[in-house]
Amino acid sequence: MTVPLIEMRNISKSFGAVVALRQVSLSIAAGEVVGLVGDNAAGKSTLMKILSGVYTPDAGEIMLDGRAQALATPMDARGAGIEMVYQDFALVPELSVTQNIFLGRELLQGGLRSKFVDKAKMRERATHWIERLGLRVPPVDTPVRATSGGQQQAVAIARATAFDARLVIMDEPTANLAAAAIEKVRAAIGRLRSHGVAVIVISHRIEDILETADRAIVLKHGAVVGERRIEDTRGDELVHMIVAGRDPRDAAAGGGDGDGAGAAADGGAGGSAPP
């Protein structure tokens, strides 16, 4: 098997007395889409903030291309090709689409020592990135506040996927979007995959996961409950795991909470789970 792009191993994180994550492991390959699902407070956002350098884990390690990688700051993560699209888009309303995409990474005329930003080139690149995702291009000089929710999501995704991202994390990318915009976001995830970009999608909409992901990982109370390949599961099974906080195939294997759990989870991934 090839080395995963990213591997999180036994990640734990507490906030004071609150244990947000207990020994969570997750791996993802280039060009793979993983859905991360679970109830509120399951630990999804915390896990992804660790991967994007916002939080430091209390324990565990992160491997990039099979090598240990420190992600102490968001700049470290960005440098490693890991980008996060936040739930609220984190855009600056008064700035244009182009300015938002290039915020903090403006292209300069004649190289790094120049004081002049290359507006024409940034406009052209911004348009290219949005089109590459199959998203509707808002006029790139428009202030973001004047664009629709779907267009703002397009800008947020374009910003994250510009600059050669290798992994894009999306936290609830379809929340608050209309149906047509939801379809565009799902299609954009497919485009990223086809470009070899890995994507982790957090979503309360199980349809997002079923339509876009290769694999789903279920979290509850800071621990991994189970994992499924999408072709090997259904929406109702995932919902059951989210709510019950356990993997029904563990019980079917007769393993209870013991060692059988791990074996059943592995079997599920290979499609060899018992009927």
Smallest distance from the beta carbon of 220 to ligand ADP, in angstroms? 9
Q: Which does 42 bind (CB under 5 to 8 A by kind): ligand ADP, Mg ion, none?
A: ligand ADP
Binder to ligand ADP among 3, 15, 234, 258 (CB under 6 A)?
A: 15
Query: Which tokens is 2 given?
Result: 């090839």
* Binding to ligand ADP in span 35-94, by CB under 6 A: 38, 40-46
95 near ligand ADP, judged by CB under 6 A: no
**CA distance readout (Å), 81 to 65, 178, 226:** 12, 30, 27
120 near ligand ADP, judged by CB under 6 A: no
Nearer to Mg ion, 45 or 127 (CB): 45
52 near Mg ion, judged by CB under 5 A: no
In the 8-state DSSP scheme, what is residue 2? P
Smallest distance from the beta carbon of 180 to ligand ADP, in angstroms? 27
Nearer to ligand ADP, 19 or 137 (CB): 19
203 near Mg ion, judged by CB under 5 A: no
173 near ligand ADP, judged by CB under 6 A: no
Q: Which does 40 bind (CB under 5 to 8 A by kind): Mg ion, ligand ADP, none?
A: ligand ADP
* Binding to Mg ion in span 160-189, by CB under 5 A: none
Q: Which does 244 bind (CB under 5 to 8 A by kind): ligand ADP, Mg ion, none?
A: none
Smallest distance from the beta carbon of 36 to ligand ADP, in angstroms? 8
Characterize the bridge pairing of strands 82-85 and 167-171: parallel
Task: Give exposure, 186-201, as e/b (b: 16+ Cβ within 10 Å).
Answer: bebbeebbeeebbbbb
Query: Which tokens is 26 given?
Result: 């997750």
| 200 beta partners | 34, 169
Q: Which does 43 bind (CB under 5 to 8 A by kind): ligand ADP, Mg ion, none?
A: ligand ADP
User: Contact 161/148 with Cβ under 8 angstroms?
Assistant: no
User: Contact 9/62 with Cβ under 8 angstroms?
Assistant: yes
Q: What are phi and psi of 10, to 5 degrees?
A: 50, 50
Nearest position to Mg ion, beta carbon: 45
Spatial CB neighbours of 72, under 8 Å, sequence gap ≥ 6: 53, 56
45 near Mg ion, judged by CB under 5 A: yes
HEC string for 141-166: CCEHHHCCHHHHHHHHHHHHHCCCCC
Q: Which does 147 bind (CB under 5 to 8 A by kind): Mg ion, ligand ADP, none?
A: none
- Binding interface with ligand ADP (CB under 6 A): 15, 18, 20, 38, 40-46
